Structure 1
Amino acid sequence: MKTVKCAVVGAGWWGTTAHVPALKRHPLAELVAVHSCHADKARQVATDFCVPHACATMKEVLAVEGLEAVVISSTPNVHYPQALAALQRGLHVLIEKPMTIKAAESEELVALAEKQGVHFLVSCPWHYTAHSREARRLIQSGALGQLKMISVLMTNFNLGLYRGLSWEEIFGSNPTRQNSARPYFTPGRSSYSDPAVAGGGQIYCQISHVAAHLGFLTERHPVEVFAQFDNADTAVDVYDALNLKLEDGTLASIASTGATPHSERNYEVRVYGTQGALLMELWKGKMECHLFDGQVTRYPDLAEAEIYPLFAPTENLVDLILGRAENGSPARFGLYAMRIIEAACESARTRGNVILRRAKN
């Protein structure tokens, strides 16, 4: 039976938490190479996960015989050149969010993938939940009527990362799920705290999730963005408030912070249309649909493993190449998010409303 030969580029914290394990457990995936800019780390991962090739450069990765696909899981500042090299080589690519630092870079990559005729995905696990797929179906089918307003609240405990603290300084003995076991690698101190590396704080790290999910649900392009940020005495944004207008006139608001207490995090999506409202709590695995005719649908709660299916994008990459699945998180949603992110950063800097050009993708 055919297998897909894959490489993980940037086998650091998230690479070894999500992508390497996903490929190792997929029966039709063959993880043939792992990459880290630190050669000793690449060798360590290759040894511990039984991977034949340990690479310290993108050139070494692309030289691996028979390679068909790569997962880009490095820091955002190198996503663009790494993905560009892989796409030019004719490889299928799964890229972590945020796709790039600049929207124009994402646009170039999406166009190149289409030209090359290869599969291109952005790593957005929320798109793969049963609730998100049903929410998309409801919105696209017109079950809620004409969309009028969307409200999103997304919070998590990333403040320590934005401050450049160590894993132990951030979590200590807090009994959170994220701290239930020390990860294989912990994040580099500059990976989230240095805007030259990360692009920004909450806007690049987490609103990249929210904005891509907004595009996934609505398929309506943003045309106006106004944003305000508070850096909370760090070098990157920590508290973010965005107001958007979509191309059909739908109003959308996004409030997000990485400074929530460790005991609670939220991802609430409220979608209001002329015929009903959809209420989602993604971190809690809950969803309800309320229609003006009195009909109320309360969907079964998701199991804990279904709430954030971190392996799903990587598994989808393999299945997509083999013709066993459709693209669950096309890279165009990563581009969609980058347009919002870039406009929000400009708005926060200029303190003005930003008008977006009509998207090509």
Structure 2
Amino acid sequence: MKQVEIGVIGAGWWACAAHIPTLVAHEAVKSVAVVRPDQEGLDKVLSHFKLEHGYLDAKQMLAERPLAGAVIASPHVLHAEHALLAINAGLHVMVEKPFGTSIAEARSIADAAKAKGVSVMMPYGWNYRPMTEAAHRLIRDGYIGEVRHVVAQMASALADLFAGEGLVEAKGALFEPPASTWADPKRAGGYGWGQLTHGLGALFRLIDLDPVEVYAKMGNSDAGVDYYDAAVVSFANGATMSLSGSGTIPKVRGGYQIDIRIFGTEGMLVYDIERARVEAYRHDGKSHIEQLPTDAGDYDSASPAALFASLCAGESIINPANATVGRRATEVLDGMYRSARSGRPEEIAP
């Protein structure tokens, strides 16, 4: 297998916990170069992973290193800037969620990648699970007919993170997630940008529809970012969605919930990571119940970076979280936040 060098822009908490270890261990990766804006933190990353190439500035790394791809894991509000720098340098990119913090940013990333002929991936971990691919296949092949209505909810045990108190599960990590990224309303903090985007990523792997209007209400944490999200979404084909998000599953229970019910002209599909369920039922009496192990709904933190490495090395891959998936998720979130502020439905322009 061809070996390549991959850059990581934003060597912080999650990049160091998931992406960099996966890349360093991958047979297609010859070396990893990293960017962090503080010298002390950069030295810590280089020492911990025994890396040779570290930079304080992304532009310098892109100019000096012979990269095949770049992982964008900087703070939310910098994703678009850093993704466009890498794309315009001719690199494949894996962009951490969210896929930009506005519709304009998300569309600029997708358009630039298309113009440059490079691939965009997102590390929506559940999109890389076989149960998601099974549900995608059933809907793609027309098992439930045309999508007419969706009920989708996601919940997480992250009340501390979105309250600006840090994350208890990250104590002792190389770096901890900063409140400035997760709990600052001026820097795309909150449950929508930080977590509900995962549920939307899974949804848009399952359905091939553009959102056109969103009406939303939110309930905020003490830090002023959303803990709770409730939205009604309309799609281009006239279908509707009831969307819900909550960041306050009690820690004693822990875990994640993503429960999506998709109703079509010929039947319905159930996708539930908590209970590892993919089930489809039709009006003609036919049904399909996917046989899944009990851990089928567990989050996959390694496969995205591993698959991205294979892509950068020239391997043919199936990309379950491409630019279209990322764009649509951001379109819903952008409309949701605008609607919560305005108190009225907000359009998503074609």
Q: Same fold (TM over 0.5)?
A: yes
Counterparts in 2 of 1:146 and 1:84: CA distance versus 1, 3 Å: closer
Aligned to 2:71: 71
The within-5 A match list for 1:1-361 is 1-167=1-167, 171=168, 178=169, 182-197=172-187, 199-262=188-251, 263-264=253-254, 265-302=256-293, 304=295, 307-321=298-312, 322-358=314-350
Write the deviation string for residues 178-227 of structure 1: whole angstroms up to 9, x where unpaired: 57x84332111322111233x13111111212223222211111112111
Structure 1: distance between partners of 2:134 and 2:65: 41
**1:121: Cα distance to partner?**
1.4
Structure 1: distance between partners of 2:104 and 2:30: 33
Letter in 2 for 1:201: G
Select between 90-99 and 188-197 the one with higher mean Cα deviation.
188-197
Structure 2: distance between partners of 1:183 and 1:259: 22
Letter in 1 for 2:263: Y
**1:19: Cα distance to partner?**
0.6
Structure 2: distance between partners of 1:305 and 1:73: 26
Write the deviation string for residues 98-145 of structure 1: whole angstroms up to 9, x where unpaired: 011221012112111111111111221221111111211111221112
Structure 1: distance between partners of 2:67 and 2:232: 43
Structure 1: distance between partners of 2:166 and 2:264: 44
Does the Cα contact within 8 Å between 1:143 and 1:275 map onto a contact in 2?
yes
Does the Cα contact within 8 Å between 1:23 and 1:30 map onto a contact in 2?
no
**1:305: Cα distance to partner?**
7.3
Aligned to 1:174: none
**1:266: Cα distance to partner?**
1.6
Write the deviation string for residues 17-74 of structure 1: whole angstroms up to 9, x where unpaired: 1110110121112332112112211111111112111211112321333111110011
Does the Cα contact within 8 Å between 2:217 and 2:231 map onto a contact in 1?
yes
Letter in 1 for 2:175: F
Structure 1: distance between partners of 2:259 and 2:320: 21
Q: Determine what percentage of the aligned residue pairs are the same residue.
A: 29
Where in structure 2 are there 5+ consecutive unaligned residues? none
SS of the residue corresponding to residue 357 of structure 1 reads coil
Considering only aligned residues, what root-mean-square deviation do their CA atoms show, in Å?
1.8
Where in structure 1 are there 5+ consecutive unaligned residues? 172-177
Counterparts in 2 of 1:166 and 1:146: CA distance versus 1, 3 Å: closer
Structure 2: distance between partners of 1:235 and 1:306: 31
Counterparts in 2 of 1:355 and 1:65: CA distance versus 1, 3 Å: closer
Does the Cα contact within 8 Å between 1:320 and 1:327 map onto a contact in 2?
no
**1:327: Cα distance to partner?**
2.3
Letter in 2 for 1:297: H
Structure 2: distance between partners of 1:238 and 1:214: 20
**1:253: Cα distance to partner?**
1.1
